[in-house]
Each structure stands twice: as structure tokens, then as C-alpha cells.
Chain A
Amino acid sequence: MSPLLTYGIAGAGLIAIGLYALIVRRHLLRKIIALNVIGNGVFLTLVAAAPRLGAPDPVPHAMVLTGIVVAVSATAFALALAVRVRDATGAAALPPPDGDGASGPGH
């Protein structure tokens, strides 16, 4: 098995593990970590899939770098939002999706 294929399979595996945790785990911190695992799987796949005809291609590396920057800022934002959710609802978990039923004055 070539090393590139190993990287590709590892990337796909990370994406699968992250996706499972994102859906199954309830705690917001775990969901955010799961998203980061998915992100790392995607980055690993992209670097592995970069065509290597002689010199390494810098474009996928630049794409992954941009992706890492986005992932860092998105994670920071998600963590801050998770703290606000815990403060407002008392639990670091998503409220049920359909909070239908009229409530309170205003909007």
C-alpha cells in the first residue's frame, strides 16, 4: 500500500469518526471537537490527494492552510457561543429543534 493511499484512508476514517461523534454526542464541546476531527480528516485527504509530478504542488497546501485558519477562528467562535448557550439554558447541549408554542411578549 502506497503512503499516499494510507493518508487518504486515514483521512476518510477521521471524517467518518468525526461525523459519527457530531451526530451522536450531545455535549457541545464534544460536537465542536468532532467538527475539528472532520476538518483534520479533510485536510489530510487534501494533502494526500495533491498531485506529485516531481516537485510537490503548493496549491493544496495553501488551501489547507487557509482551511486551518478558518477552522481556528470558527472553533473559537463556536466555543464562545457554547458558553453563551450554557449560561442561557443551563446545559451545554442543543435545545430540542422545534421549540414551537407561543411565548412571552415581544419577538
Chain B
Amino acid sequence: MPLLAELPLLPWTVTLPLGGAALSFVLRARAPAVGLAAGVATAAVGLLLALQVATAGLQRHAVGGWGAPLGIDLAADGLSALMVAMTSVVGLWVSLYAGAYFGAGNQDGEHQRAYFWPLWLLLWTALNALFLAADSFNAYVTLELLGLSAVALVALAATPAALGGAMRYLLVGLLGSLLYLLGVGLLYALAGTVDFRLLAAAPLAGPATAVALGVITAGLVLKTALFPFHFWLPPAHASAPAPVSAVLSALVVKASFYLLLRFWFWVLPEAATPVTLNLLGLLGALAVLWGGLRALTAERLKLLVAYSTVAQLGYLFLVFPLALGEADGFTAWGGMTLLLLAHATAKAGMFLSAGAILKGAAHDGVSGIDGAAQAMPVTTFAFALAGVSLIGLPPTGGFAGKWLLLNAALATGQWGWAAVLLAGSLLAAAYTVRVLTHAFTRLPGEPPACVVPGRLEWTAVALAVTALALGLAAGEVLELLRVGAPVVGPVLLEQAR
């Protein structure tokens, strides 16, 4: 498609949601219609961008024609294209869901309806701009924009729990981005540039570089909620309105993780030592186990889903010991990416279905959803299907990702990580079944009637089905991921090595 390669999609992926945010704020009465239109357009452009990168290779755009090192560049390689596509898919279904979620039967409805859309589109702008940022300082600005709009969205619920969660989230987020800024400034002092490409080419070494990478990693790990810095995530994610919880768990925590990958794999791969890589992997493994255990014992349904996010984020950190510094790192790299994408769609689907079930539930405890399978079979199906992907059963995207990570762990002789992958799957199966047991509990008397609009049900199904389809389309995803990938190697490794 020669036409597609010519389209200036990069600037539009950022300006469309930004314009939509401004417009939906000004036209407050029509915010849902304006916001939904902007959301659909942004999602379309984001998916086209992924197609463009898949067919035409790396993309780069100098905003205002200035170019690096002075101006702001937008750039897309395979990973950023996949992240933008993930944001588009999740964003599209969450937008459709939110249109029906806020409003009727809710006293705060009008307030939430009016302010959700500008904040959500601002968040979407920040996500796209962050994934396409070509320099580390522009990434700092988008990181702050992302944090502030995310906190405001959590506070939208206006309950004491949500306000407290939002406050904690804000304090942690600001500390994280200040540490990140310190690292970026130190790297600038050492290399004289903030551009990712030029930084990667600069001869950086020595203790000052290690300190810079250390504070950047500390800041980003705090924002990614890696164990033991996960304490702020469950209260914030569990107390936000359902569409906001979905976006936070599916997309926002992935943004800081994406920057971690940029620095460790592209900018300073030579600064990695076996000790630091194994430390990151170990914290990830502890997150898998601790998050899984807390999800298993959580009393509230949304807290259970939030702790599941802590666990699933842990898997992603296994990419550091498994891919960085390995000769054939692409297996673990591809597995991590598939797991990240599958978690985004499955977890968004899970939070959306939890939100729909809780609208008709007696209370927000796990036992409050008794009888949900009778009242809302479609939503219960969505929850179960999303759970299947989180557990990692075939043929879901979660399975494909775990399979590749397992393959990498076994082929490189790092058996311990394989045990973590399997234990995490067992825990995920246990907490998913725990919810489903309650959902399938029959209440005495007449089966309860479904009280939520259909749009709340099938948007969650669509996301869960996407997580399933990701496993079937894994080949295409990995092909796109190879565009500008920092590691090479076959998809599957030979066992004997």
C-alpha cells in the first residue's frame, strides 16, 4: 500500500485525542458524544499507524520541522506501534463502555459524565505521546501528563477510599517522575543529548552513568508498581470507577514499564550486570507470588482484580534476566510483549465485567456477586474468558506469551524463572475460579434480572475475545515486533544448549 506509507499518522495520533479533550471540555453538555467520536477517530489512527509500521518500517516525524537535537521528534518502531495499537483497542472498547457506565441511576453521574471525557482523552494523548516520544525529556513531560490525568480520573469516584487512593497515587507518581527527571538530567550532563538514538550511540560508562540509570530505574519501577513498590496500586485501581480501573491496569502502568525497556534495552544495554538483571527478575518473581496470594485472599472483587495486576506485572520483569545479554533474546522479548498485550486486553475486560456485575450486586465483596451467572451470563462469560488468558491456557495471548518465556527460561538453563511462571499460573487459576464459584452460586428463589445496559456487557466480551485472538495472531504480532527490535534470534529456541 504505497498510500499508507505516505500518511502523516504520527502527529495525528497525539493531536486527535488532545483536540478531543479540549473540545469535550468546552462543549460540556455534549461531552459524551464529542469524546466518543474523538476516541473512535484516535483508535482508528492508532491502528493505521501499526499497519504503517508493519508495512513501511520505522517512522519518524519532526514536530514543527525542527528535528533532533533541538526540536521534539515523534518516532515509531515495532514496540511503540504495538503499544499504540494496544492503547487503541483498549481505548475504543473502554470509550464505548464509559458512554453507558456514567449517568443513569447515579447521583454523581452528571459530574462524572462531564469530566470523564476530557480527562480520559488527555490520558490517551499522554499515552500515545509517551509511546512515540523519541527523546527522554519529552517522555518526562508525557509521564507527568499521564500521572496527573490518571490521578484526576481516580478522584472522579469521589468516595473517601478513592480520594485517599488518588492522593497516595499522586504522591508516589510525582516522586517517581522527579527521580526520572534527575536521571535524564544526569544523562544529559554526561552525553549532551536527550535523544534516545543519540544517547544509545554515545559512549556512556562509569559510575555516573550507573547512578543515572539507577535513579531512572527507581523512579520508573515506583510508577510501574513492581514489588515491593506496589503498595499504592491496589487502593487506587480498586476504588476508581470501572472504566478508569480498566485503563489504569491495562495501559497506564505499562507506560512506565515501556520507558524502562527503552533505557535498559536501547540506551544502556551495556550497563546491565547479571546482579541487577537478576534483581529485577527476582522482584518480578516476588510480585507474581505476592500479588497472586493477595488476590486469592482479597475480600473485595475489584481489589482481587487489582492484586492480579501486581502479579501479572511481575511476569514482565522476567524479560530482564531472560532477554538482556542473551545471544538469542528475541524469544523472551516476544513472550514479554505478548504477555503485556494479552494482559492489557484481558485485564481491561476483567475490570469492565467486574464493574458491570457490581452495578447489580448487593455489596462489593467477592461473595456479593452470587447469582451473577444467572443474571448476567454474558458478563460472567467475559470475566471467565479474561481469566483464561490471565492463567495462560491455550490458545489465548497469555498462553503464547508464557510459552515463549518458558521456552527461553528452559533453553538458557534458568530453571528458577520457569518455576515462577508455573506457580503464577496456578495462583491465577485459583483466584479466577474463586470468583467464578461465587458467580455460579445459585441464589434461592427466582433468578435475579439483569439490570445493566447491554453495552456494558458486550464491550467486556469484545476485550476478552481480543485477548484470545492475540494468541491466534501471535505470528503477526511478533513480525511487527521485529521492526527495530533491540534483540535478535528465532521465535522458539532449541532445548539443548
Query: Are B185 and A74 touching (Cβ within 8 A)?
Result: no
Given A81-B155, A107-B359, verify A74-B167 contact (CB < 8 Å). no
Whether, in the assembled complex, B362 has its beta carbon less than 8 Å from a beta carbon of chain A, the answer is yes
Query: Are A35 and B171 touching (Cβ within 8 A)?
Result: yes
Chain A residues, Cβ within 8 Å of B158: 84, 88
Residue of A nearest to B141 (CB): A66
Interface string of A88-104 (1 = CB under 8 A from B): 11000011011111111
Query: Are A103 and B364 touching (Cβ within 8 A)?
Result: yes
Which of A31, A59, A104 contacts B171, CB < 8 Å? A31
Give the interface segment out of B29-37, B41-49, B52-60, B229-237.
Answer: B229-237
Interface residues on chain A, number (Cβ under 8 Å): 44
- Cβ of A103 to closest chain B Cβ, rounded Å: 6
When chains A and B are docked, how far (Å) is the Cα of A100 from the Cα of B298?
7
Residue of A nearest to B189 (CB): A49
When chains A and B are docked, how far (Å) is the Cα of A42 from the Cα of B175?
11
- Cβ of B37 to closest chain A Cβ, rounded Å: 27
Query: Are A99 and B363 touching (Cβ within 8 A)?
Result: no
Which of B141, B170, B368 contacts A78, CB < 8 Å? B170
Interface string of B289-324 (1 = CB under 8 A from A): 000000000111011000000000000000000000
Chain B residues, Cβ within 8 Å of A106: 358-359, 364
Given A51-B192, A89-B160, A107-B359, verify A74-B174 contact (CB < 8 Å). yes
Query: Are A88 and B185 touching (Cβ within 8 A)?
Result: no
Residue of B nearest to A59 (CB): B188
Interface string of B161-189 (1 = CB under 8 A from A): 10110111011001100110110111011
Query: Are A105 and B299 touching (Cβ within 8 A)?
Result: no
Residue of B nearest to A83 (CB): B163
Which of A22, A49, A67, A85 contacts B163, CB < 8 Å? A85
Residue of B nearest to A99 (CB): B161
Give the interface segment out of B144-152, B331-339, B467-475.
Answer: B144-152
When chains A and B are docked, how far (Å) is the Cα of A107 from the Cα of B171?
24
- Cβ of B429 to closest chain A Cβ, rounded Å: 22
- Cβ of B116 to closest chain A Cβ, rounded Å: 14
Query: Are B160 and A102 touching (Cβ within 8 A)?
Result: no
Chain B residues, Cβ within 8 Å of A63: 137, 181, 184-185, 188
Whether, in the assembled complex, B355 has its beta carbon less than 8 Å from a beta carbon of chain A, the answer is yes
Whether, in the assembled complex, A2 has its beta carbon less than 8 Å from a beta carbon of chain B, the answer is no
- Cβ of A89 to closest chain B Cβ, rounded Å: 5
Residue of A nearest to B144 (CB): A70
Chain A residues, Cβ within 8 Å of B163: 81, 84-85, 88-89
Residue of B nearest to A12 (CB): B182
Whether, in the assembled complex, B367 has its beta carbon less than 8 Å from a beta carbon of chain A, the answer is yes
Pick the most buried of B158, B159, B171: most chain A CB atoms within 10 A of its CB: B171
Chain A residues, Cβ within 8 Å of B368: 102
Given A84-B155, A100-B299, verify A42-B174 contact (CB < 8 Å). no
Chain A positions 34-84 with a Cβ under 8 Å from a chain B Cβ? 35, 38-39, 42, 45-46, 49-51, 59-60, 63, 66-67, 70, 73-74, 77-78, 81-82, 84
Which of B160, B171, B189 contacts A50, CB < 8 Å? B189
Query: Are B155 and A38 touching (Cβ within 8 A)?
Result: no
Residue of A nearest to B365 (CB): A102
Chain B positions 109-164 with a Cβ under 8 Å from a chain A Cβ? 137, 141, 144, 148, 151-152, 155, 157-161, 163-164
Chain A positions 3-52 with a Cβ under 8 Å from a chain B Cβ? 15, 19, 22, 28, 31-32, 35, 38-39, 42, 45-46, 49-51
Which of B141, B151, B164, B185 contacts A94, CB < 8 Å? B164
- Cβ of B413 to closest chain A Cβ, rounded Å: 39
Residue of B nearest to A35 (CB): B174
Chain A residues, Cβ within 8 Å of B358: 106-107
Given A85-B163, A107-B355, A107-B359, verify A77-B170 contact (CB < 8 Å). yes
When chains A and B are docked, how far (Å) is the Cα of A60 from the Cα of B171?
25
Chain A residues, Cβ within 8 Å of B184: 63
Chain A residues, Cβ within 8 Å of B152: 77
When chains A and B are docked, how far (Å) is the Cα of A64 from the Cα of B155?
29
Residue of A nearest to B169 (CB): A81
Query: Are A97 and B364 touching (Cβ within 8 A)?
Result: no
Query: Are B185 and A49 touching (Cβ within 8 A)?
Result: yes
When chains A and B are docked, how far (Å) is the Cα of A67 from the Cα of B273?
31
- Cβ of A99 to closest chain B Cβ, rounded Å: 5
Chain B residues, Cβ within 8 Å of A95: 160-161, 164
Chain A residues, Cβ within 8 Å of B164: 85, 88-89, 94-95, 99
Chain A residues, Cβ within 8 Å of B284: none
- Cβ of B320 to closest chain A Cβ, rounded Å: 25
Query: Are B175 and A38 touching (Cβ within 8 A)?
Result: yes
Chain B residues, Cβ within 8 Å of A74: 144, 148, 170, 174
Residue of B nearest to A28 (CB): B167
When chains A and B are docked, how far (Å) is the Cα of A102 from the Cα of B161?
12
A-B contact pairs, 8 of them (CB 8 A): A39-B178, A42-B185, A63-B185, A67-B181, A73-B148, A78-B167, A88-B158, A99-B164
Beyond known contacts A59-B194, A105-B361, A107-B241: 8 more, CB 8 A cutoff: A22-B175, A31-B171, A42-B182, A51-B189, A63-B184, A78-B171, A100-B299, A101-B300
Q: Residues of A with Cβ closer than 8 Å to B?
A: 15, 19, 22, 28, 31-32, 35, 38-39, 42, 45-46, 49-51, 59-60, 63, 66-67, 70, 73-74, 77-78, 81-82, 84-85, 88-89, 94-95, 97-107
